[in-house]
Structure 1
Amino acid sequence: MAQKLFSEAKLGALTLTNHIVMAPMTRSRALGNIPNDMMAEYYAQRASAGLIITEGTSPSPNGLGYARIPGIYSAEQIEGWKKSTSAIHQKGSKVFIQLMHTGRISHSANMPQGAEILAPSSVAAAGDMWTDSEGMVSNATPREMTQADIKATIQEFVQAAKNAVEAGFDGIELHGANGYLIEQFLSHRSNQRTDEYGGAIENRARFLLEIVAGSIEAIGADKVGLRLSPFGAAGDLLPHADDNHDLYVYLTAKLNELGIVYLHLVDHSGLGAPAVPEATVDAIREQFKGTLILCGSYTASRAEADLESGKADLVAFGRPFIANPDLVERLETGAELAPLDPATLYAPGTDGFAQGYIDYPVLAEAQA
């Protein structure tokens, strides 16, 4: 049976209890965009993972594109997150907060008053967005960011990194995947700028690299990670440009120079998206000397194989953690995994927000 997966692991200066990462997953339980007691319980239930990466959390009111997602830009939000970091640390796990600015994947009905939908270019994304007040609506057309907007947004990420440390997080994960603001700058479809933030690879990568550099300066490279989804399909970014592979190889070399603690690559092919080409994953692995986390429909045996071969340093599991708070134990013992309830992924059940969130039983309870 798998061994390395369940053994201690190093992540920069941190020691993790195992090589299993709980992947970031939006759950839309932050009422009023403020982290709460229920969220702390949810994460604590799953703290047998060596590392937890939280759901996407906005560094700014402008990044709150989805209903009921948390932020980390106000004193109240920082205090709210302390409940989760404390609960997770008490259980022996480590936790990074994922900083996610939704950019053009947004609707004003989900945002506080005074917030604005911003993106690299004024190009709406195809697709719909849930709002609690209006139901399903089309993604809104964003305002093209000025240079001043870009600088201000970079500073929002940097301040959010400082706020994360204040809230007790072990580090931050910048969300450069899934079609959100950072990836909107990387993509030629959403970024049609002609200034130094658009066009050539170096220009499209600039926004991300400036956020990384600013975050490192603020909290240290050993506390900064990044999630990427090369060739991902989320956020209306298909088809990719011919230089997409080269873009990610260039980015990886720069990130390696900057010294971030980890790169987290997600492959959504298990959910129907195109697979990340093996050549791109191999090129990233070759370029990047920090910790590489791989994510994408893993089983325990495939995770063990990729750890043993050196293809991955840590392996992230997403959806299985939702219905299996004790996923680590179930993987280690080979126990059957419980299925999740799709109806309560992002929404309250008939019994409120706790349903399908903190009421999934552990194995002993399920068997009883």
Structure 2
Amino acid sequence: MKHHPIFQNTITWKKELINRTVVAPMSRVSATAEGLATDEMKDYYSAFAIGGFGVIITEGIYTDVYGSQSYNNQPALVTDAQINSWEKVTRAVHQSPALIFAQLMHAGALSQYSEETLAPSALKPIGIKMPSFGGEGAFPIPKEMDLTDIERMKQGFVSGAVKAYKAGFDGVEIHGANGYLLDQFLTPELNRRIDHYGGTMQNRFRVIAEIIAGIKATVPEDFIVGLRVSEGKVNDLTYRWAQGIETAKELAAEIKMSKPDFVHVAVQTGEWERDSFYGEGVSLASVIRQATSIPVIANGGFHNLDKAEVALKNGHATLIAIGKAALADPHWVMKTMNGLPLIPFHREMLWPEATLNHTRKIVKELNLEHS
């Protein structure tokens, strides 16, 4: 297994990565009520670095106090205290050769923290809130954001990136996926605006392009700025673009113009082939990679190494993100490379709550550490 392409080192972002593995962002609802990263979170993230992952992307971090927070006990990068709490995490991770990126997110209409939500248009989201993240019932109708709301939201992302840099992160991932605010701007069914932030793909992408430009103008040149995109949404797992590959090509063209340092293509159900392909051998990841020549991270069941090899060798991805398998066993890389038994993922690790404490309790109850 040591010779599998996923475990080979690579030069990306002018940095030598020890391998092509990435820990996918996973919400853990385990920060303090004030949005501080805890010692428990420090141990959680540093375990991935010790376990051999090349890059770690954090759970979604909220960026302002005006509507970005998604749920209770979500970490933030707004105050100095929050910066200091994350600095303990990055310092621990950097004891190993891994990079760590902060995922910056705004929940928009899918916030489970507040009943006064924001969105591109005043459209009630389908589906219900997620109980495992403390939600209950239907989503409210959001307020349609005015230009002041949009400017304040954009500044939150830029400020969040600067604070991530101060906290010792190697970069940020802008969360433009999975149905949250920036994805709401991208999605025509959710964005009915008639100003310069609605209508064409160029207009719908404009807010993301402005965030990327704002961050890059503010942080050092070697600070990595990436973008996460998807079709599926946490409240609508089966959603796909009506125009399929044509929309993918339009999105790829806008991404190319905005010049992020990487694109992370996410799938919602955890299955890359089912959620990401338009035809034989053509995936959203490959469309973006071919159009932009930007490093692409692919996500979706890649603990299956045969699938990971296809993605890397056939031009779909530069790096491979691992989610549930990493959550179950943070030493997945080292154990897989050396043929050692893994702690298997069980749904109970995330249900009925997706906290670090609950996952740890399930591992002990099921005696998985010694299975």
Task: Give the TM-score normalised by structure 1.
Answer: 0.88
CA distance 1:242–1:130, shift in 2 (3 Å):
closer
| Distance (Å, rounded) in 1 between the aligned partners of 2:213 and 2:102 | 18
Corresponding residue number in structure 2 for 1:38: 40
Corresponding residue number in structure 2 for 1:263: 263
Say whether 1:95 aligns with 2:97.
no
Correspondences of 1:321-340 after superposition (within 5 Å):
321-340=326-345
| Distance (Å, rounded) in 1 between the aligned partners of 2:213 and 2:15 | 21
Report the 3-state secondary structure (helix = DSSP H, G, I; strand = E; otherwise coil) of the residue aligned with 1:90: coil
Shift of 1:79: 0.8
Q: Report Cα offsets for 1:338-360 as digits up to 9, x if no partner.
A: 233434427669xx953414985
Question: Contact conserved, 1:232 with 1:276, CA < 8 A, in 2?
Answer: no
Shift of 1:91: 2.0
| Distance (Å, rounded) in 2 between the aligned partners of 1:271 and 1:133 | 22
Corresponding residue number in structure 1 for 2:313: 308
Shift of 1:319: 0.6
Question: Contact conserved, 1:24 with 1:98, CA < 8 A, in 2?
Answer: yes
CA distance 1:221–1:194, shift in 2 (3 Å):
farther
Q: Report Cα offsets for 1:287-338 as digits up to 9, x if no partner.
A: 1212111111111232133223333111111110111110102221344432
Shift of 1:244: 5.3
Question: Contact conserved, 1:72 with 1:160, CA < 8 A, in 2?
Answer: yes
Q: What letter corresponds to residue 356 of structure 1 in structure 2?
A: T
Corresponding residue number in structure 2 for 1:58: 62
CA distance 1:240–1:195, shift in 2 (3 Å):
farther
| Distance (Å, rounded) in 2 between the aligned partners of 1:79 and 1:161 | 14
Q: What letter corresponds to residue 156 of structure 1 in structure 2?
A: G
Correspondences of 1:238-253 after superposition (within 5 Å):
240=240, 242-243=242-243, 245-253=245-253
Question: Contact conserved, 1:67 with 1:132, CA < 8 A, in 2?
Answer: no
Q: Report Cα offsets for 1:37-67 as digits up to 9, x if no partner.
A: 1001000111121000000111112111223
Question: Contact conserved, 2:23 with 2:53, CA < 8 A, in 1?
Answer: yes
Shift of 1:135: 5.8
| Distance (Å, rounded) in 2 between the aligned partners of 1:200 and 1:23 | 30
Corresponding residue number in structure 1 for 2:229: 228
Corresponding residue number in structure 2 for 1:29: 30
- Unaligned runs of 5+ residues in structure 2 are none
Question: Contact conserved, 1:29 with 1:39, CA < 8 A, in 2?
Answer: yes
- Unaligned runs of 5+ residues in structure 1 are none
Report the 3-state secondary structure (helix = DSSP H, G, I; strand = E; otherwise coil) of the residue aligned with 2:330: coil
Shift of 1:118: 0.8
| Distance (Å, rounded) in 2 between the aligned partners of 1:353 and 1:7 | 30
Question: Contact conserved, 1:125 with 1:236, CA < 8 A, in 2?
Answer: no
Shift of 1:128: 2.0
Corresponding residue number in structure 2 for 1:142: 142
Q: Report Cα offsets for 1:52-94 as digits up to 9, x if no partner.
A: 0000111112111223211111111111111111111112211
CA distance 1:60–1:347, shift in 2 (3 Å):
farther
Q: What letter corresponds to residue 234 of structure 1 in structure 2?
A: V
Q: Report Cα offsets for 1:192-246 as digits up to 9, x if no partner.
A: 11111111111111111111111111124751001111x3243348655544543
Shift of 1:4: 2.3
| Distance (Å, rounded) in 2 between the aligned partners of 1:86 and 1:218 | 23
Report the 3-state secondary structure (helix = DSSP H, G, I; strand = E; otherwise coil) of the residue aligned with 1:354: helix
| Distance (Å, rounded) in 2 between the aligned partners of 1:66 and 1:304 | 36
RMSD of Structure 2 on Structure 1 (CA): 2.8
| Distance (Å, rounded) in 1 between the aligned partners of 2:20 and 2:133 | 41
Report the 3-state secondary structure (helix = DSSP H, G, I; strand = E; otherwise coil) of the residue aligned with 2:301: coil
Corresponding residue number in structure 1 for 2:199: 199
Corresponding residue number in structure 1 for 2:369: 366
- Percent identity over the alignment is 32
Question: Contact conserved, 2:350 with 2:358, CA < 8 A, in 1?
Answer: no
Corresponding residue number in structure 2 for 1:215: 215
Corresponding residue number in structure 2 for 1:356: 359
Question: Contact conserved, 1:20 with 1:317, CA < 8 A, in 2?
Answer: yes
Q: Report Cα offsets for 1:177-197 as digits up to 9, x if no partner.
A: 100000000001211111111
CA distance 1:121–1:203, shift in 2 (3 Å):
same
Task: Give the TM-score normalised by structure 2.
Answer: 0.87
CA distance 1:256–1:291, shift in 2 (3 Å):
same
Of 282, 285, 294 in structure 1, the residue corresponding to residue 286 of structure 2 is 282
Q: What letter corresponds to residue 66 of structure 1 in structure 2?
A: Y
Q: Report Cα offsets for 1:158-189 as digits up to 9, x if no partner.
A: 01010000000000000111000000000012
- Most deviating of 219-228 and 234-243: 234-243
Q: What letter corresponds to residue 191 of structure 1 in structure 2?
A: N
Shift of 1:11: 2.3
| Equivalent residue pairs, number | 357
| Distance (Å, rounded) in 1 between the aligned partners of 2:369 and 2:143 | 50
Corresponding residue number in structure 2 for 1:254: 254
Report the 3-state secondary structure (helix = DSSP H, G, I; strand = E; otherwise coil) of the residue aligned with 2:107: coil
Question: Contact conserved, 2:270 with 2:299, CA < 8 A, in 1?
Answer: no
| Distance (Å, rounded) in 2 between the aligned partners of 1:133 and 1:23 | 18
Question: Contact conserved, 2:177 with 2:233, CA < 8 A, in 1?
Answer: no
Corresponding residue number in structure 1 for 2:73: 68
Report the 3-state secondary structure (helix = DSSP H, G, I; strand = E; otherwise coil) of the residue aligned with 2:195: coil
- Most deviating of 25-34 and 334-343: 334-343
Report the 3-state secondary structure (helix = DSSP H, G, I; strand = E; otherwise coil) of the residue aligned with 2:158: helix
